[in-house]
């Protein structure tokens, strides 16, 4: 896993953001998280240890998006962090599933076809409504990461849930909203908040602000 320290104010609170698959920290530049330091996590080709600096904060909020939801839980990172909100956005802990996540045939098709012309652009249109590729990662590195995740998800299964607040986007075209509801409604102690969001809601300032408010509770 790659950790990028974005906003540093030497604050007592940290926001740890688990990106989706294939992303980098560039997409978080517009986030306004005054009063917090922000550490972005990306590239799940290999799981790695939590940076020691994270343990020094008085509080740490975790915001995980898309496949980052599973990675945040399966990596065991949350258990080693200081207390704070644990928020999942448009993802589940059973990410490759006909009923609780991305249908297996869709996941496999994305992996198989990723390097074909136009596939990345189509994917980004599905997640955010436009074809801007907001990641500097190469298509080859993204495919390698997705292949590693497929193997790890199959071998690990459903990890223990660290999340207490879950956002479900009603217009999500990656993780079907019905599958998200099916999974999270079966998990005790979770508050489910539905919004009229695409899979990636973070281009919308109102969505960023709502997630920010929950992260800074």
Q: Write the pLDDT tens digit of every residue in 110-157.
A: 999 999 999 998 998 899 887 665 688 899 999 999 999 999 999 998
pLDDT < 70 regions, the chain: 29-30, 32, 131-134
List, in order, residues 6 or more apart from 122 with CB less than 8 Å away: 131
Q: What is the pLDDT of residue 110?
A: 96
Q: What is the pLDDT of residue 8?
A: 73
| φ and ψ of 37, to 5 deg | -90, 150
Q: What is the pLDDT of residue 132?
A: 64
Q: How far is CA 97 from the centre of its chain?
A: 17
Q: What is the pLDDT of residue 87?
A: 97
- pTM, 2 dp: 0.94
pLDDT tens readout for residues 107-123? 999 999 999 999 998 99
Taking each helix axis from N to C end, the angle separating 139-156 and 104-113, rounded to the nearest 10 degrees, works out to 150
Q: What is the pLDDT of residue 29?
A: 66
Q: What is the pLDDT of residue 131?
A: 63
Fold of domain 2-215: Rossmann fold (3.40.50)
Q: What is the pLDDT of residue 133?
A: 58
Comparing CA positions, the residue from 184, 152, 196, 9 lying closest to residue 87 is 184
């Amino acid at each position: 896993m790659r950790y990028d320290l974005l906003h540093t104010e030497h604050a007592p609170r940290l926001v740890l953001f688990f990106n989706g698959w294939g992303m980098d920290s560039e997409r978080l530049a517009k986030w306004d998280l005054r009063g917090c330091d922000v550490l972005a996590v990306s590239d799940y080709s290999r799981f790695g240890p939590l940076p020691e600096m994270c343990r020094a904060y008085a509080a740490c909020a975790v915001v995980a998006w898309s496949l980052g939801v599973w990675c945040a839980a399966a990596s065991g990172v949350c258990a080693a962090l200081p207390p704070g909100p644990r928020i999942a956005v448009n993802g589940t802990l059973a990410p490759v599933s006909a009923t609780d996540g991305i249908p297996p045939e869709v996941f496999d098709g994305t992996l198989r076809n990723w390097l074909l012309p136009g596939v990345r652009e189509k994917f980004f249109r599905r997640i955010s409504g436009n074809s801007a590729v907001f990641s500097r990662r190469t298509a080859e590195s993204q495919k390698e990461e997705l292949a590693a995740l497929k193997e790890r998800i199959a071998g690990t299964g459903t990890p223990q849930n660290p999340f207490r607040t879950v956002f479900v986007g009603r217009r999500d075209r990656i993780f079907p909203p019905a599958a998200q509801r099916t999974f999270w409604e079966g998990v005790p102690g979770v508050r489910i908040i539905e919004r009229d969001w695409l899979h990636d809601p973070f281009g919308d300032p109102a969505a960023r602000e709502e997630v920010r408010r929950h992260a800074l509770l």
